[in-house]
Structure 1
Amino acid sequence: MTTKTRIGRKTAFWMGLTCSFLLIFTPSAKAKDVEIKVGIVQRFGEEVTDKVSIASNSGDSLTLRFVDQNGQPQTLQTNQLTLEIVKQPLSNPVLEERLVLSDHATFETAEDSAKQWEALGIEVEVTQPERWQVWAKRDVYQTPLLRRWLHQSLKAKGYKDPYLETALVSQKPQASFTINGVRYGLNKLDITTGTNQVRVTKPGQQPRLYGGSLRLQPNSYGTYTLVNQVPLETYLRGVVPHEIGPGAPQSATKAQTIIARTYALRNLRRFEADNYELCADTHCQVYYGLTGTIARVDQAIAETKGLVLTYQNELVDALYSSTTGGITAPFSDVWNGEERPYLRAVIDSPNQVWDLSQQSLADEAAFRKFISLKDGFNETGRNVFRWNKQSSLEQLNADLKKYLTRRKHPLADFNTIQAMGVTKRSPSGRVLTLTVQTDKGIIELHKNEARSAFGPPRSTLFYVEPVYNANKQLLGYAFVGGGFGHGVGLSQYGSYNLANLGWSAEKILEFYYPGTVIQPLNESIVFWRE
């Protein structure tokens, strides 16, 4: 693993004294040295029926290193094993408790919330038990007394979101496997092979081949994570073809490769609380290991080896989505936090199809006119470029109840939605506030939460229309909009069109991230600033 330097952070309790830190390469680090830790199976053990099969390639073997239940170090070799879960009774019940300070749909907004809590002098950690959460740091607020004191102090200061999540646990999931009739229980397991390739099979899924090594390790939620430690360039072989698609033009593939490499390095802090760095799904980047690699994508990875996208010598926040809907969004249109100067509202077209300086999409009438346009955009003809999704009142009620219950919202027991509408929209057209009137009170959903709360919207680029029956009774709502995903940064389908027009990867990236520079990874580049 490449050595990285953190320039210290000190947080004074309740004093809000924080020092920013940089994550940078040390002088000896080179691109070829970088290895990353990817959680390929998260929260293993949530169900007692969870199983994962692991096997070596033909002619190779697995080397297993672990400490058994008796505290004895073990080294075993086998060709395959199946990880299983056994519920192990505890001799005495254990109190498991955390103080949840805030709850969010995305890491980006959770991280911004964490900074705000830190400014109050509270030590925190960002976690992902399901949604992203900010917790009072467990190794600081170690006792029930400390956690309750902090909780009550926050309530007295008017903070309504924090809550204690408490459970008395009498048994815990124990990872285990059986070899030659002997069952081994363990807390952590390292798996290596002679060829640095290993096969992993989850129930209902075809086997996937991964480069590097594996580690099964405990996480923050009483379960386990199966982590793949893999060289960065090998990791990209399992990301790029699944993100950009096997049929993408080569310059679009190269652009995606540079962005995927930049994204990975910029986001290594996401799962710090669980001692790994990235996940393997759309909360990070889709990663399938060495299954489904494509020669022409491998060529793009090799030809761009070590290249990253920077702004003022810092890795950019390399956000991208499938389809912007015709306009990219600034960072703060979707998440809370400081603006990134290179993430701007850009009309996603090589032509002048709309003038934002003359017609801001914050105006509802202008926005609806924009959404009615279909021709001349980079994504024209894509099935998610424009959409109209209707949902019944019953389904919308169910969606919102589920969302509010997860958030522990005080209005989660409402009976029915009475009305809803967009009450604030950004200049790029994104929903900033969706106001929902229920029989128990008004609920405001901000930015990406408007998408998280309901099933129909595929992005936050939409408006809503009530659907009535002949007697003017409300039956539901139509969500009319465009795009798929957050719409920030590069549009993957948009890059297809620009590549087909003859644009290079460099020109595509300059279009979607104005003011940025492609450069080789080196010891001077800042990964991110806090």
Structure 2
Amino acid sequence: MQWALAGAFILGAGLLLASLQQNQPPPALPSGQNVRVLLSYRLNGGSFEGQYLFPGLELLPQGGRVQVLSGPNPENLRPIVTVFADKPLSFSLQNGGLVASSEGQVWALEAFVRLKPADPATPVQYRLLASPRPNLEPYPGELWLENRGSGLLVVNVVDFQDYLKRVLPSEMPASFHPEALKAQAVAARTYAYTRQQANTFWKQFGADVDDSVSEQAYNHTRTHPATDAAVDATRNQILTFQGTPIQSFFFSTSPGATASIEEVWPDRPAQPYLRGRPQAKPHAVSIQSEAEALAFFQNWNPQGFYDAASPFWRWKLRLSREELEALLSRTLPERARAAPPFVQTPEGPLSPDAPGFALGTLEQIRVLGRTSGGYVTELEIKTSTGRFVVRRESHIRSLLRPHKALTGGGDVALERWQGEPRLNFPTLPSAAFALQEERDAQGRLLGITFWGGGFGHGVGMSQYGALGLAQRGYDYRQILEHFYPGARLEALP
């Protein structure tokens, strides 16, 4: 997340590098080309408030002096104080108001706060202190704070290159092949640029993206020379289709194929550059029946699969009927409340989110739909109280979370084709799986083994697949053409 390339790979005509000449540095990004990132107080906080609201903020400015500005809105800020480098600076809520303090001095602030370098020529980084997230690296650029009454929202305004240098090692190991790292750099830059231009959910909070895997992981891992080099080598380069930046989705590991966007996310339109494609050679992955799916996922021979370096290329999970009943009793109502259009009750006297819902005895779990590459798109849960149909990969993965807190028993082991089993994994690694039932002599369900493969949603570029192609001799342009066919590699003006 190795094989030699047999024969030359001819770069498709659809992938061109525009406006970049050999041995000539690319133009600088336009003035003000920054990304605004909403920071998480803690990852997986369970709710928006739990993840993003800081009860207070302690930080250490490093590198230069910091000017603190404040006002009733972002457009009307006035200077409050300038703080020296390496002097702790704290922000806290007192009686609903926001105050700052440093070295025994206290300043009353209004709802919005901006922290910026006092000298534009001297960059500043901000180290967050007393954070529930361990080993956080300092944040470059500026910080913007908003008092939400019950906590602070914190947005990091950061230069595009600095942002990407903290995204890349958080999304892809620095040990990966340099060409895979370059492909990831272009995909990450394109993704952030597209989100910056879009009316995203985060805009209401003064941000373009957040720092979690909901968008792109940012500043989870320290910068590294190898990932810095990939960002610099691809400076300004993005992918476009018919003149528009693409939706450059990516994920960890494919089981041997990617999926088309409209198959995985039925509420999104099809895109020519986001079509499901086999990720194996000479294998032609095309699953037409559940018997074929089971045989495909039970094949743990990695030969020819681009993603086989990933421990999650193949995995399996066994749950007893009792564990599944305990799990589904919790997750089925949860999914029905969170996404009613994707949880249907064609039979049964009671909706899963209704008071008094009881799952009853589990009789069968059955795949009703899947992509030709193996990703389940529709799953049926049949019990003694009714029949329930769950659609969309994210809901199917959340429905079947293999964690003892939900199954009600001992540790749940997710076996992988390489490495130690993972206990109590937070979600099903992917929606690419097939079912193997166990029944007693009377036909009653005893348990189910989920034979699966891959990690992530399956749309766009597989990161371990990029590694496998790089190890076969593909350069980053060829890797991008493979995963986003028809896209053009261009330079921002």
TM-score grouping bracket, smaller chain normalisation: 0.7 to 0.9
Aligned to 2:7: none
Superposition pairs of residues 452-463 of structure 1, within 5 angstroms: 452-456=398-402, 457-463=428-434
**Does 1 or 2 have the higher relative contact order (CA < 8 Å, sep 6+)?**
2
Superposition pairs of residues 221-300 of structure 1, within 5 angstroms: 224-268=152-196, 269-270=199-200, 271-288=202-219, 292-300=222-230
Q: How many Å separate the matches in 2 of 1:467 and 1:64?
A: 64
The correspondence for 2:80, drawn from 67, 75, 81, is 75
Amino acid at match of 2:34: E
Could you tell me which runs of 5 or more consecutive residues in structure 1 were left unpaired when the two chains were aligned: 1-27, 89-173, 523-530
Residues 65 and 471 of structure 1: CA distance in aligned 2, closer, same or farther (over 3 Å): farther
User: Could you tell me how far 1:382 is from its partner in structure 2?
Assistant: 2.3
Residues 390 and 380 of structure 1: CA distance in aligned 2, closer, same or farther (over 3 Å): same
Superposition pairs of residues 365-514 of structure 1, within 5 angstroms: 365-373=291-299, 374-375=301-302, 376-391=304-319, 392-393=323-324, 394-407=326-339, 410-412=351-353, 413-416=357-360, 417-448=362-393, 449-456=395-402, 457-468=428-439, 473-514=444-485
- For residues 165-206 of structure 1, give each alpha carbon's deviation from its aligned partner in whole angstroms, at most 9, with x where no partner exists: xxxxxxxxx554444263735421111134232222422422
Quick check: 1:431–1:462 contact (8 Å CA) kept in 2? yes
Amino acid at match of 2:279: D
Amino acid at match of 2:315: W
Amino acid at match of 1:492: Q
Amino acid at match of 1:301: V
Quick check: 2:54–2:152 contact (8 Å CA) kept in 1? no
Quick check: 2:258–2:458 contact (8 Å CA) kept in 1? yes
Amino acid at match of 2:222: G
Q: How many Å separate the matches in 1 of 2:52 and 2:224?
A: 35
Residues 411 and 352 of structure 1: CA distance in aligned 2, closer, same or farther (over 3 Å): same
Quick check: 2:99–2:109 contact (8 Å CA) kept in 1? yes
Q: How many Å separate the matches in 2 of 1:236 and 1:216?
A: 22
**Secondary structure at the counterpart of residue 214 of structure 1:** strand
Quick check: 2:92–2:100 contact (8 Å CA) kept in 1? yes
Amino acid at match of 1:35: N
Aligned to 1:310: 240
Q: How many Å separate the matches in 1 of 2:80 and 2:168?
A: 36
Q: Say whether 1:217 aligns with 2:146.
A: yes
Quick check: 1:51–1:203 contact (8 Å CA) kept in 2? no
Aligned to 1:324: 254
User: Could you tell me how far 1:390 is from its partner in structure 2?
Assistant: 2.5
**Secondary structure at the counterpart of residue 41 of structure 1:** coil
**Secondary structure at the counterpart of residue 208 of structure 1:** coil
The correspondence for 1:62, drawn from 55, 59, 66, is 66
Q: How many Å separate the matches in 1 of 2:51 and 2:296?
A: 45
The correspondence for 1:205, drawn from 128, 134, 146, is 134
Amino acid at match of 1:40: L
**Secondary structure at the counterpart of residue 138 of structure 2:** strand
User: Could you tell me how far 1:281 is from its partner in structure 2?
Assistant: 0.8
**Secondary structure at the counterpart of residue 69 of structure 2:** strand
Q: Say whether 1:41 aligns with 2:40.
A: yes
Residues 206 and 233 of structure 1: CA distance in aligned 2, closer, same or farther (over 3 Å): same
User: Could you tell me how far 1:272 is from its partner in structure 2?
Assistant: 2.2
Length-normalised TM-score, structure 1: 0.69
Residues 32 and 490 of structure 1: CA distance in aligned 2, closer, same or farther (over 3 Å): farther
Residues 257 and 189 of structure 1: CA distance in aligned 2, closer, same or farther (over 3 Å): same
Residues 230 and 265 of structure 1: CA distance in aligned 2, closer, same or farther (over 3 Å): same
User: Could you tell me how far 1:510 is from its partner in structure 2?
Assistant: 0.8
Bigger shift: residues 480-489 or 375-384: 375-384
- For residues 22-78 of structure 1, give each alpha carbon's deviation from its aligned partner in whole angstroms, at most 9, with x where no partner exists: xxxxxx9945641110011365678998343221116x3332111389x99551233
User: Could you tell me how far 1:419 is from its partner in structure 2?
Assistant: 2.7
Quick check: 1:411–1:440 contact (8 Å CA) kept in 2? no
Amino acid at match of 1:453: L
Residues 497 and 62 of structure 1: CA distance in aligned 2, closer, same or farther (over 3 Å): same
**Secondary structure at the counterpart of residue 267 of structure 1:** helix
Aligned to 1:112: none
Amino acid at match of 1:512: F
User: Could you tell me how far 1:308 is from its partner in structure 2?
Assistant: 0.6
Q: How many Å separate the matches in 2 of 1:519 and 1:48?
A: 38
Quick check: 1:238–1:293 contact (8 Å CA) kept in 2? yes
**Secondary structure at the counterpart of residue 56 of structure 1:** strand
- For residues 81-133 of structure 1, give each alpha carbon's deviation from its aligned partner in whole angstroms, at most 9, with x where no partner exists: 23334564xxxxxxxxxxxxxxxxxxxxxxxxxxxxxxxxxxxxxxxxxxxxx
Amino acid at match of 1:84: S
Q: How many Å separate the matches in 2 of 1:447 and 1:480?
A: 19
Write 1 or 2 for the structure with the bigger share of strand: 1
**Secondary structure at the counterpart of residue 345 of structure 1:** coil
Residues 386 and 63 of structure 1: CA distance in aligned 2, closer, same or farther (over 3 Å): same
Q: How many Å separate the matches in 2 of 1:465 and 1:396?
A: 18
Q: Say whether 1:53 aligns with 2:52.
A: no
**Secondary structure at the counterpart of residue 279 of structure 2:** coil
Q: How many Å separate the matches in 2 of 1:490 and 1:37?
A: 24
Quick check: 1:56–1:193 contact (8 Å CA) kept in 2? no
User: Could you tell me how far 1:223 is from its partner in structure 2?
Assistant: 5.1
- For residues 352-388 of structure 1, give each alpha carbon's deviation from its aligned partner in whole angstroms, at most 9, with x where no partner exists: 212x5xxx42422222222233321011242100111
- For residues 464-489 of structure 1, give each alpha carbon's deviation from its aligned partner in whole angstroms, at most 9, with x where no partner exists: 33445787654543322110001111
Aligned to 2:115: 191
Q: How many Å separate the matches in 2 of 1:445 and 1:224?
A: 37
User: Could you tell me how far 1:241 is from its partner in structure 2?
Assistant: 1.5
User: Could you tell me how far 1:436 is from its partner in structure 2?
Assistant: 1.5
Q: How many Å separate the matches in 2 of 1:45 and 1:501?
A: 44
Quick check: 1:249–1:499 contact (8 Å CA) kept in 2? yes
Quick check: 1:309–1:517 contact (8 Å CA) kept in 2? yes
Amino acid at match of 1:415: L
Amino acid at match of 2:481: E
Quick check: 2:117–2:142 contact (8 Å CA) kept in 1? yes
Aligned to 1:134: none
Quick check: 1:197–1:211 contact (8 Å CA) kept in 2? yes
Residues 176 and 475 of structure 1: CA distance in aligned 2, closer, same or farther (over 3 Å): farther
Residues 251 and 196 of structure 1: CA distance in aligned 2, closer, same or farther (over 3 Å): same
Could you tell me which runs of 5 or more consecutive residues in structure 2 were left unpaired when the two chains were aligned: 1-26, 42-47, 344-350, 403-427
How much identity, in percent, do the aligned residues show?
25
